Amino acid sequence: MSSGKGRRFSPVKFGIFFVLILLLILVCWIILRKTAEKPDEFLAPVITVRPRRGRIEKTIGLSGQVETGRLLTLVPRVAGTLLFLDADPGTPVVKDQVVAQVDSAPYDLTYLQAQTAFSTAQSTWQRISALYASQAVTRQQYEEARTVYESSKAQYDLAQLNRDYTLIRSPIDGVVLIRHSTQGGMVNAGTPLVTLGDLEDLRIRAPVPEIHYRFFAEHWEDMPVRLRVPALGDEEFHPAPLSLAPYVSPETRSFLVEYAIPGAAYRGLRPGMFVKISFVLESQEDVYYLPFRVLGSQNRLWYVDEQQRAQYTEYIPEFFNENFFRIPGEWGAREFILEGQHFITPGQGVAILTESSIDVPDTPGVSGP
C-alpha cells in the first residue's frame, strides 16, 4: 500500500491559496507605487510687486497755515460814537481810504476853542514882541507872553489832530478780513474796528527742527519747496524764499523759515488755510525703487526667480526716504515679494496670488514718470 494513497488535493484550499498570493502581490505593488511617487509640493501664496522707475526724494514734511505779510487791525485814536463803518468782509480798500468815522462834534468844539485861544495868544505875542524890541516891556512880560503863545499853539495842534483822528483811514491797499465793531456803537481809543490784509502778499512760515539748521543755512535759497493745500484739492504751490531766522528757539528747538507765495490769491489761496509743506533735501532721478514693506527681516529682499521659486538677497538701502528705498538698476525687471516673504524658505515654490503696484503717497517724497 503506498504512503500517499488516500491523500487528495482540495480545490478549495488551492483557491484560497491563490487568492492570498494575488492579495500579497497587490499590496506589494501599491506599496512600491506609493514609494516611487513624490508628494505634491506646497506652493506658498505670495503677493508680488515690480520696482517703479522715477524720482525719489529725501524730504522734510511739515504743516502750517497761510499768512499775509501785511496784517493789521484798525483802531480809533479817540473815543466816541461810531457814525460810519464801511468795512464788510471781503471789501477791497485802498491806501488812505476812509474806512470808519467817529462822531467829530465834541472834537470840533474843542478845536474851535483852541483856535480862538491860539489866535488871541498869537496876537498878544506879536504885540509884546514888538514892544520888547523897543524896550517898552520887561523881559518877564515877554517870556510870559511867549509861554502863553506856545501853550495855546500846542493845544490848538492837539485839538486839530484829535479832530483829524475821527476819520480812520486805511494805511495799505488790501481787503477787509474781519469786522470787529458795529456802526452806531460807542468805541474807545484802541477798540478794534476791522482787520485788513494784503492778499497780494501771502506767505508761509514753518518751524524746522534745529538738526537741519546747517543744511538750511547753506541751501535754503535754492532748496525746492512744495505746498499742498487740502482745501483746494491738494493743489500744489511753489513758494519763493524770503528769510531764514538767525537763531534757534530754545523753547521749541526749531528755527523759522519764511516763504512768499506769489500769485496765490488768484488761485483761491486765502490767509488761514492749512497747508502741507515739503522741503526737498536731496533727490535722485531715473532710479528704481521699492516700498519698505518688501524688505524682510535681516535685510533680506525676497524675489521670484524664473522657475517660480522664492530666492533672496541681503540688501542694505543706501538712498531712501520714509516710504521707499532705491535698488540697483539691474534689479528693475525682478518680481519682488511684497507679502508672504516671512513664511517661506529659499528655493520654495510660490503661487502668485496677485501682482501689486507701487502707489505714490499723498505726502511728498517720491514722484514717478
The model's pLDDT over 307-333, given as tens digits with 9 standing for 90+, comes to 999 999 999 999 998 889 999 999 999
Rounded to whole angstroms, the Cα distance separating 208 from 217 reads: 12
Architecture of the domain whose range is 105-165: Orthogonal Bundle (1.10)
Whether the Cβ atoms of residue 310 and residue 302 lie closer than 8 Å to each other: yes
Q: Is the model's pLDDT at 14 over the cut of 70?
A: no
Rounded to whole angstroms, the Cα distance separating 172 from 155 reads: 30
Confidence of residue 369 (pLDDT cuts 50, 70, 90): very low
Q: Is the model's pLDDT at 250 over the cut of 90?
A: yes
- Domain segments of the chain: what residues? 44-57+285-360, 61-69+199-283, 72-103+172-197, 105-165
- Looking at residue 366, what is its pLDDT? 47
> What one-letter code names the amino acid at 261?
I
- Looking at residue 192, what is its pLDDT? 95
% the chain with pLDDT above 70: 89
Dig out the grid coordinates for 57 from the structure.
526724494
The matching CATH number, chosen from 3.30.830.10, 2.40.420.20, 2.60.40.2470, 1.25.40.20, for 44-57+285-360 is: 2.40.420.20
Who contacts 190 (Cβ-Cβ below 8 Å, separation ≥6)?
A: 75, 76
In tens, the pLDDT along 24-51 reads 787 777 776 655 545 567 788 999 999 9
User: pTM score, two decimals?
Assistant: 0.66
- Looking at residue 209, what is its pLDDT? 95
Distance of alpha carbon 52 from its chain centroid, rounded? 26
**Residue range 228-254: average pLDDT?**
94
> What is the signed CA dihedral for 72, 195, 100, 157, rounded to 10 degrees?
-20
Helix (H, G, I), strand (E, B) or coil at 362: coil
- Looking at residue 368, what is its pLDDT? 42
- Looking at residue 141, what is its pLDDT? 87
Which one-letter DSSP state was computed for residue 258? Answer: E
Selection from 336, 323, 326 nearest residue 296 by Cα:
336
**Residue range 235-249: average pLDDT?**
95
| More confident position, 65 or 18 | 65
Edge-to-edge, what's the strand order for the sheet holding 300-304? 310-314, 300-304, 335-339, 44-49, 350-356
Per-residue buried b or exposed e for 237-264, using 16+ beta carbons within 10 Å of the residue's own CB: bebeeeeebeebeeeeebbebbbbbeeb
| More confident position, 7 or 137 | 137
Q: Which residues pair with 171 in a beta bridge?
A: none
Confidence of residue 86 (pLDDT cuts 50, 70, 90): confident
Q: Is the model's pLDDT at 285 over the cut of 90?
A: yes
- Looking at residue 94, what is its pLDDT? 92
- Cα–Cα separations (whole angstroms), residue 130 to 121, 125, 136, 191, 258: 14, 9, 9, 49, 64
Per-residue buried b or exposed e for 53-67, using 16+ beta carbons within 10 Å of the residue's own CB: ebbbbebbebebebb
Who contacts 147 (Cβ-Cβ below 8 Å, separation ≥6)?
A: none
Q: Is the model's pLDDT at 259 over the cut of 60?
A: yes
Confidence of residue 20 (pLDDT cuts 50, 70, 90): confident
**Residue range 346-355: average pLDDT?**
86
Selection from 289, 359, 286, 361 nearest residue 319 by Cα:
289
Rounded to whole angstroms, the Cα distance separating 103 from 99 reads: 14
**Residue range 211-216: average pLDDT?**
94
Q: What are phi and psi of 336, to 5 degrees?
A: -95, 150
Q: Is the model's pLDDT at 121 over the cut of 70?
A: yes
Kind and range of the H or E run holding 235: strand 235-237
Counting Cα atoms < 13 Å in the Cβ hemisphere of 188 gives: 1
- Looking at residue 194, what is its pLDDT? 94
- Looking at residue 132, what is its pLDDT? 82
Confidence of residue 90 (pLDDT cuts 50, 70, 90): confident
In tens, the pLDDT along 146-194 reads 899 999 999 999 999 999 999 999 999 999 999 999 988 999 999 999 9
Confidence of residue 367 (pLDDT cuts 50, 70, 90): very low
- Looking at residue 319, what is its pLDDT? 92
Rounded to whole angstroms, the Cα distance separating 107 from 162 reads: 7
Q: What top-level class would CATH report for the domain 61-69+199-283? A: mainly beta
Q: What is the C-alpha end-to-end distance of the chain, expressed in Å?
A: 110
Who contacts 334 (Cβ-Cβ below 8 Å, separation ≥6)?
A: 50, 51, 303, 304
- Looking at residue 125, what is its pLDDT? 87
Whether the Cβ atoms of residue 165 and residue 76 lie closer than 8 Å to each other: yes
Average pLDDT, the chain: 87
The matching CATH number, chosen from 3.40.50.720, 2.40.50.100, 2.40.50.140, 3.40.50.410, for 72-103+172-197 is: 2.40.50.100
